[in-house]
Amino acid sequence: MPENTVLGATIETNRDEGYEQVSKAPKPSERIRVMEGLEWPRKVIVVEPIRDFDLEDFVNAIMRIRPEAVYVGYDNYGNGLLEPPLTKARKLVDALKQYTRVHVKLLRPA
């Protein structure tokens, strides 16, 4: 691949439970595993639409991927997903900012 290629994945949560009820995508754990295993220096993660998560586990999973940037935002299409409280989403953003660039998109009370 060209050197300027950036590989990315949407990983909305670290939780697999009940995921098949809201998405046909591979489970979050599978996407995390695949992104971790990619030997490529330029990766990004999109946490949108954000779903409820386990803060420490999710931050650690994202950091193992070593993304150059993370995009975080709530569902802006009214799909009724289980979203984290705004304070928890902000904690995620703050924790990730210690390791990488974070682009905050739509954040609002869940």
What secondary structure does DSSP assign to 57-97, as a single string? Answer: HHHHHHHHH--SEEEE---SS--------HHHHHHHHHHHH
Give 41's pLDDT tier (boundaries 50, 70, 90). Answer: very high
- The set of residues, in sequence order, having a beta carbon less than 8 Å from that of 4 and lying 6+ positions away, is 42
User: Does residue 83 contact residue 105 with C-beta atoms inside 8 Å?
Assistant: no
pLDDT digits (tens, 9 = 90+) for 54-110: 999 999 999 999 999 999 999 988 888 889 999 999 999 999 999 999 999 988 876
Q: CA-CA distance, 52 to 86, in Å (whole number)?
A: 10
